[in-house]
């Protein structure tokens, strides 16, 4: 499972089990064509998996739902009992929502630096927020201590097989949608904080790529100022965190890399990249001003549902579809800045026209921060 001292084991059989469970709980988020990006002799067709249209505005609902569902099913937590976690924002919202749906009480330990929009979102879902000085890692230590002292279930943000497998459902879902659309992806790009999404996605790709008859690459992206996992990946061993300043990508503001997650990343991620703060901001602006997304926002709910794979719960959120938070923008920035070696992918897969999928992982960005980046304030 991945408790302290234990290696995290991922079971391929669970990919389908988790997908089916999440599919019963939530409608699949749309897979949308974003545009063509030229890169030298290669042409990149870019698609986006819009997990920003989930109820919580991020992919985190997936892992928390699967974790809590299994904890309830095997009797580790019962109705009206407490579940505790630590979060930089979106994971806390996911746990609060899932706890509410299962009749549990959620206690979320968070750094004081967490954006207000994420804190308020947790409180609106009935979660209790307890602030901690320092970083996500400090909040995690306090949450684990509280869990041990009060004998309550702790829901890790990423260091647990159920969380990772739950996050993997975004890729299983996207691959099914790609198949239905006749799209044959060559690579996926994930923001990488603790690594649950990227590792889970990479695990799903490694187990499903044979169905597409080729290798599908998995890429992780970190903010340059919080890139300990990137440094560890490059070195092949755990690197130490060094303070390089803050980042607007709060969802991947994880100072210390996890040894357990590093082992999985080295197995299931093909390459890691870093983006600067300006590249993150540039990506936020580019997504916000995307003509393709703007065109979709002009369509009626009926047109979106009939032609673009939206469900009713998604059409209610179309107004914010061009909004991505810093963590999601990191993945976009990696592609926009041409960091990926398309020549290597093209050589292995034998073609000049490549197809990539970005996971739009979250849109919970403070309005003031967004306005500042867009030059509105």
Structure tokens at 356: 């990539």
Beta pairing, strands 128-132 & 187-191: unpaired
Instruction: Please state the φ and ψ torsions of residue 7, each to the nearest 5 degrees.
Output: -75, 145
Q: Please state, in angstroms and as integers, the Cα–Cα distance from residue 36 to each residue in 5, 235, 331, following that order.
A: 45, 34, 16
Q: Please state, in angstroms and as integers, the Cα–Cα distance from residue 218 to each residue in 10, 201, 215, 320, following that order.
A: 17, 7, 10, 27
All domains in the chain, ordered by first residue? 13-58+161-374 (3.40.50.1100), 61-154 (3.40.50.1100)
Instruction: Please state the φ and ψ torsions of residue 82, each to the nearest 5 degrees.
Output: -105, 145
Residue 39: what pLDDT? 86
Question: What does the alpha-carbon distance between residue 253 and residue 250 come to, in Å, rounded to a whole number?
Answer: 5
Cβ-based neighbours of 24, under 8 Å, separated by 6 or more:
none
Of the candidates 357, 201, 339, 361, the one whose C-alpha atom is nearest the C-alpha of residue 273 is 339
- Outline where the chain has alpha helix (H): 13-25, 60-73, 90-101, 116-124, 136-150, 161-181, 196-208, 228-235, 259-268, 277-288, 291-297, 301-307, 312-315, 326-336, 342-349, 367-374
| pTM attached to this predicted model | 0.95
- Degrees to nearest 5, angle at CA 167 with 162 and 168: 95
Residue 348: what pLDDT? 94
Burial of 183 (0-12, 13-18, 19+ CB in 10 A): middle
Residue that is written with structure tokens 């990506």 in the block: 283
Residue 13: what pLDDT? 97
pLDDT in tens, the chain (377 residues): 444 557 899 999 999 999 999 999 999 999 999 999 988 899 999 999 999 999 888 999 999 999 999 999 999 998 889 999 998 778 999 999 999 999 999 999 999 988 888 899 999 999 999 999 998 889 999 999 999 999 999 999 999 999 999 999 999 999 999 999 999 999 999 999 999 999 999 999 999 999 999 999 999 999 999 999 999 999 999 999 999 999 999 999 999 999 999 999 999 999 999 999 999 999 999 999 999 999 999 999 999 999 999 999 999 999 999 999 999 999 999 999 999 999 999 999 999 999 999 999 999 999 999 999 999 86
Question: What does the alpha-carbon distance between residue 352 and residue 346 come to, in Å, rounded to a whole number?
Answer: 6
Question: What does the alpha-carbon distance between residue 325 and residue 305 come to, in Å, rounded to a whole number?
Answer: 25
Q: How many residues does the chain have?
A: 377
- Degrees to nearest 5, angle at CA 184 with 279 and 50: 45
Contact between residue 330 and residue 252 where contact means Cβ atoms under 8 Å apart: yes
């Amino acid at each position: 499972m991945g408790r302290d001292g234990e290696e995290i084991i991922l079971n391929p059989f669970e990919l389908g089990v988790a997908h089916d469970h999440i599919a019963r709980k939530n409608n699949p988020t749309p897979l949308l064509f974003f545009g063509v990006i030229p890169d030298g002799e290669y042409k990149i067709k870019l698609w986006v998996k819009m997990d920003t249209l989930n109820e919580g505005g991020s992919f985190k609902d997936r892992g928390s739902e699967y974790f809590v569902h299994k904890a309830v099913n095997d009797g580790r937590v019962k109705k009206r009992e407490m579940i505790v976690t630590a979060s930089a924002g979106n994971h806390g919202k996911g746990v609060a929502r899932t706890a509410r749906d299962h009749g549990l009480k959620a206690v979320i330990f968070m750094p004081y630096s967490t954006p207000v929009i994420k804190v308020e979102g947790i409180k609106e879902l009935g979660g209790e927020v307890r602030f901690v000085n320092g970083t996500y890692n400090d909040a995690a230590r306090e949450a684990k201590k509280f869990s041990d002292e009060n004998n309550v279930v702790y829901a890790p943000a990423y260091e647990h097989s159920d969380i990772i497998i739950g996050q993997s459902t975004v890729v299983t879902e996207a691959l099914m949608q790609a198949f239905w659309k006749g799209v044959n992806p060559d690579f996926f790009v994930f923001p990488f904080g603790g690594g649950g999404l990227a590792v889970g996605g990479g695990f799903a790709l490694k187990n499903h790529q044979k169905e597409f008859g080729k290798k599908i690459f998995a890429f992780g992206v970190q903010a340059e100022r919080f890139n300990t996992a990137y440094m560890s990946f490059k070195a092949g061993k755990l690197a130490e965190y060094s303070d390089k300043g803050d980042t607007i990508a709060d969802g991947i503001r994880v100072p210390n890399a996890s040894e357990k997650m590093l082992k999985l990343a080295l197995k299931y991620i093909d390459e890691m990249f870093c983006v600067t703060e300006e590249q993150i901001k540039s990506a936020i602006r580019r997504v916000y001003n995307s003509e393709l997304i703007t065109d979709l926002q002009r369509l009626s709910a009926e047109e979106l549902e009939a032609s673009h794979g939206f469900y009713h719960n998604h059409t209610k959120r179309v107004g914010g579809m061009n909004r991505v938070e810093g963590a999601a923008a990191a993945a976009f920035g990696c592609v926009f800045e041409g960091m990926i070696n398309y020549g290597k992918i093209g050589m292995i897969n034998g073609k000049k026209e490549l197809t990539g999928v970005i996971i739009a992982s979250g849109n919970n960005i403070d309005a003031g921060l967004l306005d500042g980046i867009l030059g509105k304030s």
